[in-house]
C-alpha cells in the first residue's frame, strides 16, 4: 500500500497538477487573442460564465495554497516563527513587485507630460492602480498570502472557519458597495475616492477576500494528502469537490431570477439594481426548468436577457458561485492527479518541467506569446490550422526555455 507523503518530500501529484495549470494558462492566454478558437477556451468578463479559461486562475490559487501550507509548516519547524513570516511577507511583496514590473506599462495610464503630475493626476494614477490595474495573478497571490498569514499555520478547523468568514465577508461587502465598486457604477466608496466610473477586474482591491477561498481549500487539501494514503486522500477530495460543484451551481441558479424576459428587473445599465439580494418574487409562476442556470462551459443567455448579478459565475467580481464551483473543479482535477501520480505511476515530463518552475514559466511565456502573436492574426479569417501552428510554436519555445533552466537546475524561487 502507498503511504502518505512525508512533510519534506515533494508531492508528485501537486507538481503535475501545477504543471497542468501552467500549461492551461499558456493555452487560454494565447487562444484568447484569436477569434478562430472556441469561446469556451476564453475569458468572458463582459458576459460572465464558467468557461475553461475561468478554471485556470482558481486552480493557481488552489495550488498556491497547497504549497503555502506545506512551506510554512516546514519553515516553522526549521527556522521559527519570526524568520518564517518575515520570509512570507518579503516573498509576497516581491510577487506584487514582479506583477507591477510586468504589467504596469500596459495597464496603467502613463504620465506623458510633466503638467499631468498634479495632486489630482497622481491620485488618479494611484487610485486606479489600487482599485484595478494592480490586480494580476502574481499580485493577487502575494496579497492573498499576506491576508492569510494569521491562519496559514492554524488547525484545519480554524482555516475552515476563516474560509467561511471570507465567503460571508465578500458577500456582505458586495451587498454594501463592492459589486457596484467593481463595475464602476455609483457607490459611496467611489464617490469618496473620486473614482466613479472606473471599473476593475478579478475582484479589484477587495478581490483577495474572494480569492482566499480557493487558496484556503488548497491548504485543506494539503492536510488531507499529507496525512492519508493517496487512495484515501483522492476519495476525500472527490467528495469535497462534488459538494462544492453542487453548491456553486445551486447558487448560480439564483442568477435566473434576473431574467428580463420572465419579469421586470430594475437595472443600472447592464447591472441589476439589486445584484446581491435576488428578487425572489420573480420565481412565481415559472417552471422549475426555467430556474436552472445554464450548465458550466455553456454560453448563458445574452446580457440583455440575464443582466449582471452577483449570482452568475462571475470572475470579474469573484462571486461566491464562482469561487465555490471553481474550487470544486480544482479539487476534482487534483484528485485525478493524486490517483494517476501518487497511486499510479504516471508522470508527464512537460507538467514536471512547468510544475517545478512555475514562476519562471509564467514570466517567460508573456514575452514568447507576444513575439509569436505578431505573426498570427487574431481575426476570424485566420485558418484554424494556422492558429494551432502558432500555439504549438509558442508552447514549444516556452517549454525549451523552461526546460533549459531545469536541465541546469535553475529554479526561480523567492
- Given a contact cutoff of 8 angstroms between Cβ atoms, the answer to whether 312 and 300 are in contact is yes
- Cα end-to-end span (Å), the chain: 36
Q: Which of 9-13, 219-223, 248-252, 342-346 has the lowest mean pLDDT?
A: 9-13
Count the alpha carbons within 13 Å of 339 in the hemisphere toward its beta carbon.
11
Main-chain phi, psi angles of 332, to 5 degrees: -65, -45
- The pLDDT of residue 74 is 94
The CA-CA-CA angle for residues 4, 9, 14, to 5°, reads 75
Question: Which H or E run includes 267?
Answer: strand 267-268
- The pLDDT of residue 205 is 94
Check pLDDT > 70 for residue 105.
no
- CA–CA gap between residue 263 and residue 148 (Å, rounded): 42
The closest of 178, 196, 325 to 250, measured between CA atoms, is: 325
Q: What share of the chain is helix, strand, coil (3-state, %, to 5)?
A: 65, 0, 35
Give the dihedral sign, CA 375/377/378/383.
negative
Q: Which own/partner contact pairs does 283-290 have at CB distance under 8 Å and 24+ positions apart?
A: 283/257, 286/262, 290/256, 290/259, 290/262
Average pLDDT over residues 164-189: 96
Most confident residue range from 117-121, 304-308, 409-413: 304-308
Phi-psi region of 184 (alpha: psi -120 to 50; beta: other; left: phi over 0): left
Q: Which of 46-50, 189-193, 195-199, 355-359 has the lowest mean pLDDT?
A: 46-50
Percent pLDDT > 70 in the chain is: 96
Alpha-helix runs per DSSP H in 51-118: 56-79, 81-107
User: How far, in whole angstroms, is CA 233 from its chain's centroid?
Assistant: 24
**Residue found by looking up cell 470572475 in the block:** 315
Check pLDDT > 70 for residue 106.
no
Q: Which of 127-131, 254-258, 289-293, 340-344 has the lowest mean pLDDT?
A: 127-131
Count the alpha carbons within 13 Å of 137 in the hemisphere toward its beta carbon.
21
- The pLDDT of residue 123 is 85
- CA–CA gap between residue 389 and residue 215 (Å, rounded): 35
- CA–CA gap between residue 29 and residue 41 (Å, rounded): 9
User: What pLDDT band is residue 245 in, cutting at 50, 70 and 90?
Assistant: very high
- The pLDDT of residue 49 is 86
Percent pLDDT > 90 in the chain is: 75
User: What pLDDT band is residue 324 in, cutting at 50, 70 and 90?
Assistant: very high
- The pLDDT of residue 271 is 92
Each residue's pLDDT tens digit, 147-158: 999 999 999 999
Based on C-alpha coordinates, what's the Rg of the chain? Answer: 22
Check pLDDT > 80 for residue 71.
yes
Over the chain, what is the mean pLDDT?
91
Average pLDDT over residues 255-275: 91
The closest of 54, 58, 35, 55 to 45, measured between CA atoms, is: 54
Instruction: Record the cell numbers describing residue 295, joined without a space.
Output: 450548465
Q: 155: exposed, middle or buried (C-beta count within 10 Å: 0-12, 13-18, 19+)?
A: exposed
Each residue's pLDDT tens digit, 393-409: 999 999 999 999 999 88
- CA–CA gap between residue 25 and residue 41 (Å, rounded): 10
- The pLDDT of residue 8 is 46
- The pLDDT of residue 108 is 53
- CA–CA gap between residue 106 and residue 376 (Å, rounded): 20
Check pLDDT > 70 for residue 4.
no
More confident residue, 300 or 7: 300
Instruction: Record the cell numbers describing residue 215, joined without a space.
Output: 487558496
> In DSSP terms, which residues pair with 308 in a beta bridge?
271
DSSP 6: P
- 301-314 in b/e form (b: 16+ CB < 10 A) is bebeebbbbbbbbb
Pairing of strands 271-272, 267-268: antiparallel
Average pLDDT over residues 26-44: 90
User: What pLDDT band is residue 274 in, cutting at 50, 70 and 90?
Assistant: very high
Average pLDDT over residues 290-295: 93
- CA–CA gap between residue 160 and residue 162 (Å, rounded): 5
Mutual angle of helices 81-107 and 56-79, in 10-degree steps? 150
Identify the three-state secondary structure at position 341: helix
Check pLDDT > 50 for residue 3.
no
User: What pLDDT band is residue 109 in, cutting at 50, 70 and 90?
Assistant: low
Main-chain phi, psi angles of 272, to 5 degrees: -65, 145
Amino acid at each position: 500500500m502507498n503511504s502518505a507523503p512525508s512533510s519534506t518530500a515533494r508531492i508528485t501529484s501537486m507538481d503535475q497538477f501545477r504543471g497542468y495549470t501552467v500549461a492551461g494558462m499558456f493555452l487560454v492566454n494565447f487562444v484568447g487573442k484569436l477569434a478562430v478558437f472556441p469561446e469556451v477556451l476564453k475569458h468572458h468578463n463582459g458576459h460572465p460564465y464558467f468557461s475553461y479559461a475561468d478554471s485556470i486562475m482558481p486552480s493557481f490559487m488552489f495550488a498556491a495554497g497547497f504549497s503555502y501550507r506545506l512551506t510554512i509548516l516546514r519553515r516553522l519547524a526549521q527556522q521559527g516563527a519570526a524568520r518564517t513570516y518575515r520570509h512570507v511577507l518579503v516573498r509576497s511583496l516581491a510577487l506584487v513587485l514582479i506583477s507591477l514590473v510586468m504589467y504596469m506599462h500596459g495597464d496603467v495610464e502613463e504620465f506623458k507630460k510633466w503638467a499631468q503630475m498634479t495632486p489630482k493626476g497622481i491620485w488618479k494614477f494611484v487610485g486606479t492602480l489600487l482599485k484595478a490595474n494592480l490586480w494580476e495573478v502574481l499580485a493577487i497571490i502575494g496579497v492573498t498570502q499576506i491576508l492569510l498569514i494569521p491562519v496559514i499555520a492554524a488547525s484545519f478547523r480554524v482555516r475552515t472557519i476563516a474560509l467561511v468568514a471570507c465567503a460571508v465577508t465578500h458577500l456582505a461587502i458586495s451587498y454594501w458597495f463592492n459589486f457596484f465598486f467593481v463595475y464602476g457604477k455609483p457607490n459611496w466608496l467611489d464617490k469618496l475616492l473620486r473614482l466613479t466610473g472606473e471599473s476593475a477586474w478579478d475582484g479589484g482591491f477587495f478581490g483577495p477576500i474572494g480569492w482566499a477561498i480557493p487558496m484556503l481549500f488548497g491548504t485543506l487539501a494539503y492536510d488531507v494528502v499529507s496525512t492519508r494514503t493517496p487512495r484515501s486522500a483522492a476519495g476525500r477530495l472527490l467528495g469535497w469537490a462534488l459538494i462544492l460543484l453542487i453548491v456553486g451551481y445551486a447558487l448560480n441558479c439564483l442568477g435566473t431570477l434576473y431574467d428580463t424576459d420572465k419579469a421586470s428587473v430594475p437595472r443600472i445599465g447592464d447591472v441589476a439594481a439589486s445584484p446581491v439580494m435576488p428578487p425572489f418574487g420573480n420565481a412565481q409562476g415559472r417552471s422549475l426548468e426555467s430556474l436552472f442556470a445554464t450548465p458550466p462551459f455553456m454560453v448563458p443567455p445574452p446580457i440583455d436577457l440575464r443582466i449582471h448579478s452577483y449570482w452568475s459565475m462571475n470572475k470579474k467580481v469573484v462571486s461566491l458561485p464562482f469561487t465555490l464551483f471553481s474550487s470544486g473543479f480544482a479539487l476534482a482535477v487534483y484528485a485525478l492527479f493524486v490517483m494517476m501520480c501518487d497511486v499510479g505511476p504516471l508522470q508527464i515530463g512537460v507538467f514536471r518541467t512547468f510544475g517545478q518552475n512555475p514562476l519562471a514559466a509564467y514570466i517567460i511565456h508573456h514575452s514568447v506569446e507576444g513575439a509569436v502573436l505578431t505573426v498570427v492574426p487574431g481575426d476570424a479569417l485566420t485558418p484554424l490550422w494556422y492558429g494551432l501552428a502558432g500555439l504549438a510554436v509558442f508552447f514549444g519555445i516556452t517549454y525549451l526555455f523552461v526546460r533549459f533552466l531545469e536541465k541546469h537546475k535553475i529554479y526561480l524561487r523567492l
